[in-house]
Amino acid sequence: MNERTVSVKTAGAVGGLDVGAIRRDFPILSRTVGEHPLVFLDSAATSQKPNQVIDAEAEFTRHHNANAHRGIHMLGEEATQAYEGARATVARFLGAPEPETIVFTRGVTESMNLVAQGWGRTHLREGDEILITEMEHHSNIVPWQMTAAVTGATLRYIPLTDDGLLDLSQLGSLLTERTKIVSVTGMSNALGTITPLRQLADSAHAVGAIIAVDAAQLAPHSPIDVQALDVDLLGFTGHKMLGPTASGGLYGKSDVLESMEPMLGGGEMIHEVFHDHSTYKSAPFKFEAGTMPIAQQVGLAAAIDYLDGLGMANVRAHEEEITRYALDRLLDAGATVYGPKDASIRGGAVSFWFKDVHPHDLATILNEQGVAIRAGHHCAQLAMRRYGVPATARASFYVYNTKDEVDALVGALDHAQAIFS
């Protein structure tokens, strides 16, 4: 059997990133799995966190912890400033016009449910149509099924081509004046496919629909400018972009946010409460009922500062290069890749089958070599069904991954072959 170890390149920055220096910021990357160095190729599920994020969250908790927007005391003021500062940081990162266009949520699942309920239940009725795609994560399918059941609206799907791209040839018949909202992923977590957002936004607007984007995968891996893309709503998740779990949010154009109903009622989202009704604050605060994950959003701001320091164009370039390398090596090794084979039009989540080895078996065998991948349907069963597989193995890459780690992945495939041949 072929034993491989991973050495991290400290020189020869890839795509403008000094990956060796980056890796030193992530304490978890120096741990081992059994006797092997950890090769973490599951960032599409959740990313690792640099010291800067871990420290920012801990610093807030240690020295500034109080509830935001409540205390008159000094800690309350500091907590509010940190929390609202994080909102401004997110707005800048996404190219949003002002901080008030950012609603904090606990992640993109909550964001898309807020869109489906808060917008969908007040704007949709029988005869209306919701247009999504077959490559959506379940978090951008199930909320719409729930909303369709309540409103009587119809859910329609943009199909996929054999190459893992959106099949836009039927868009004319799918996107009509009956369509009220188009809700699409920006980058597929199961196929890696990048959606032509500006094109879809223009097409949606041309028929009077709005467009919402699930940017769970796009935001961590690509520069985003919500105004240039002209999208109406865009949800994102902090823990996939170096931030803490339970951080994230929803960008929305001001008029769209104002037209939405809150999903949760409770403290801090109200203007005034009476016996028979209540009045709400304006957006974004009417959507933030109860105590929010404050330390986590502060941690998210630190993650964004970290990504900004690297430069999102450099992040994208690095991932494109490593994805190209991984596609080449996996295909050479005899793997079947699901999704586009051209790294320039896709992200770094690479779904594959290796020969006849079931993804679950493959993940167990790779784990014995310290290589962490995802095996399963990736919460994208419609995409799995489209390509006739119940599950795939998925390797996904981020700023801290190296080509040596791709080599470790491909080398570990030999073990699977040896067991199952």
Partner 1 sequence: MALDDIYKEVILDHYKNPRNKRELPGAELQCHANNPLCGDEITVFAHVDGGAVAEVTFQGAGCSISQSSASMMTEAVTGVKIGDARGLAERFRGMMAGDVEPAEDEFGDLVALKGVVQYPIRIKCAVLAWDVLQEALDGAGSASGAQPHTV
Taking the C-alpha atoms of residue 224 and residue 234, their distance in angstroms, rounded to an integer, is: 10
Cβ closest to partner 1, residue 243 vs residue 376: 376
Taking the C-alpha atoms of residue 400 and residue 302, their distance in angstroms, rounded to an integer, is: 17
Cβ closest to partner 1, residue 205 vs residue 358: 358
Buried b (16+ CB within 10 A) or exposed e, 29-45: beeeeeebbbbbbbbbb
Q: Could you tell me the smallest distance in angstroms from the CB atom of residue 142 to partner 1? A: 13
CA of 369: how far to CAs of 27, 79, 415, in Å? 20, 44, 9
379 among known catalytic residues: yes
420 binding partner 1? (CB under 8 A): yes
Contact 272, 279 (CB under 8 A): yes
User: What counts of helices (H) and strands (E) characterise the chain?
Assistant: 16, 17
Piece of 104-112, 117-125, 127-135, 354-362 that binds partner 1 (CB under 8 A): 354-362
Taking the C-alpha atoms of residue 37 and residue 19, their distance in angstroms, rounded to an integer, is: 16
Q: Could you tell me the smallest distance in angstroms from the CB atom of residue 105 to partner 1? A: 25
The residue within the footprint of partner 1, chosen from 9, 381, 387, 414 (CB under 8 A), is: 381
Query: Binding-site residue total for partner 1 (CB under 8 A)?
Result: 18
Q: Could you tell me the smallest distance in angstroms from the CB atom of residue 144 to partner 1? A: 20
> Tokens at residue 22, please?
């980056």
Q: Could you tell me the smallest distance in angstroms from the CB atom of residue 407 to partner 1? A: 20
417 binding partner 1? (CB under 8 A): no
Q: Could you tell me the smallest distance in angstroms from the CB atom of residue 404 to partner 1? A: 23
415 binding partner 1? (CB under 8 A): yes
2 binding partner 1? (CB under 8 A): no
375 binding partner 1? (CB under 8 A): yes
Binding string, 8-37, against partner 1, x = CB under 8 A? --------------------------x---
Piece of 80-88, 190-198, 320-328, 353-361 that binds partner 1 (CB under 8 A): 353-361
Contact 335, 329 (CB under 8 A): no
Query: Smallest Cα–Cα separation from 50: which of 249, 242, 186?
Result: 242
126 φ/ψ angles, rounded to the nearest 5 degrees = -55, 135
390 binding partner 1? (CB under 8 A): yes
User: Using a CB cutoff of 8 Å and minimum separation of 24, what contacts does 60-65 make?
Assistant: 60/294, 60/295, 60/298, 60/299, 61/295, 65/294, 65/295
State the residues that interact with partner 1 by CB under 8 A: 34, 358-361, 364-365, 368, 375-377, 381, 384, 390-391, 415, 419-420
Residues marked as catalytic: 379
